[in-house]
Structure 1
């Protein structure tokens, strides 16, 4: 166990780790299987408990990677749309795209910033923004705000566990990864609770319209019975 811990902490102390994190954050912005939150959590937990890698440079690498990646996703969305590839047509991804499309016109700033915190959500939001030609001059500043705040948040959460488990950097990394996954899930649930998908809104509207039509039909039937008597 100690040998594995030494191997992991030694690799995390390499200066190349910042470039690796930069690349992971860029790719994660438009390719869901790449887990940037898990990588950040592991490196930040190790960095805060051993001193390497630098948590400040981790924040910088993660923020720059997120900003570049989000803008690449926007460009991809503008070029190919949101249904070109098979993975885009999977039910979960499709629902995310539909949700993003329905929300962009209403709360674009809030959506782009909070979408950065949701692994699938950020892809849907950014590619949909490009596909619907949301103005880039407005989009770029929002990705800067979202990318910087997300990087600070991700590193800070994992660093807290790294300081708490200073003598167990590998355990701190594992706990940091678990917390990143749980917090990402909670953010996803909270956003979807307060800002439901278009499909849910339409379903609610449909139920309301059906109920109203039933009431009107009942009133007309009563009126006819009254006239007949």
Structure 2
């Protein structure tokens, strides 16, 4: 049964769909899917690792560009969850960092499930050009896919002749990795509090880009802290 599932072309469709959705809807478990399928590929010989890589990388890039388009269209303050203090702080910081080093921020954020959505939407809302964003999203999707497939290959090698174990082990590893990344992100990105206890004062500094900021009918990201 495992071999039949591994050899089915439906797996590629499912994987592509998960990777696309995860680009703008973080609860979708694309990391777990890529790692588990890669582990299965190594332990059974199917599906093709190369095909998995191409499909996952393409889906990741498409999903990231959807998040970018949503940010460009809707802005980053329209919904209530975007105005929560923790999310607001993350968006403000993303806007500041994107203004200074967009490439490294976009490529790094690809590895953080929620972070990549916030950063990619911020990139769209603050006017980062599509000409710059698209190539970086392709590179980020490819590097993220290679990393996830590498983890899956390790699991598949360890599972050896027990392919039934490769899928749950791959999922467990990806979940643990996600929890570790989230813990590090929370530790590094703790919201700063104002010394007078009144909370942070929003900055009105311009972004310095010639492109107009598209935020719908909402506030744009301040770049200062």
Deviates more, 1:26-35 or 1:77-86: 77-86
Cα drift, residue 116 of structure 1: 0.7
Distance of aligned partners of 1:31 and 1:86 in 2 relative to their CA distance in 1, 3 Å threshold: farther
Judge conservation of contact 1:113–1:146 (CA < 8 Å) in 2. yes
Query: Match for residue 186 of structure 1?
Result: 180
User: Which structure has the higher relative contact order (CA within 8 Å, separation 6+)?
Assistant: 2
Query: Match for residue 137 of structure 1?
Result: 131
Cα drift, residue 97 of structure 1: 2.7
Answer yes or no: is 1:44 the counterpart of 2:59: no
Cα drift, residue 101 of structure 1: 2.3
Aligned residue pair count: 198
Cα drift, residue 94 of structure 1: 4.3
Answer yes or no: is 1:59 the counterpart of 2:59: no
Unaligned runs of 5+ in 1: 1-5, 209-229
Unaligned runs of 5+ in 2: 197-225
Aligned with residue 94 of structure 2, among 100, 104, 110: 100
Query: Match for residue 3 of structure 1?
Result: none
Answer yes or no: is 1:175 the counterpart of 2:175: no
Give the SS at the match of 1:52.
coil
Deviations 1:104-129 (A, max 9, x none): 22332111001111110010000111
Query: Match for residue 118 of structure 2?
Result: 124
Deviations 1:90-109 (A, max 9, x none): 66644543332232223321
2-side partners of 1:50 and 1:82: how far apart? Answer: 44
2-side partners of 1:10 and 1:91: how far apart? Answer: 48
2-side partners of 1:146 and 1:191: how far apart? Answer: 18
Judge conservation of contact 1:112–1:142 (CA < 8 Å) in 2. yes
Aligned with residue 150 of structure 2, among 156, 168, 182: 156
Deviations 1:179-228 (A, max 9, x none): 2222233344445656x46x43xx3xx449xxxxxxxxxxxxxxxxxxxx
Query: Match for residue 15 of structure 2?
Result: 21
Deviations 1:108-158 (A, max 9, x none): 211100111111001000011101111222111211111100000001101
1-side partners of 2:38 and 2:27: how far apart? Answer: 21
2-side partners of 1:94 and 1:207: how far apart? Answer: 19
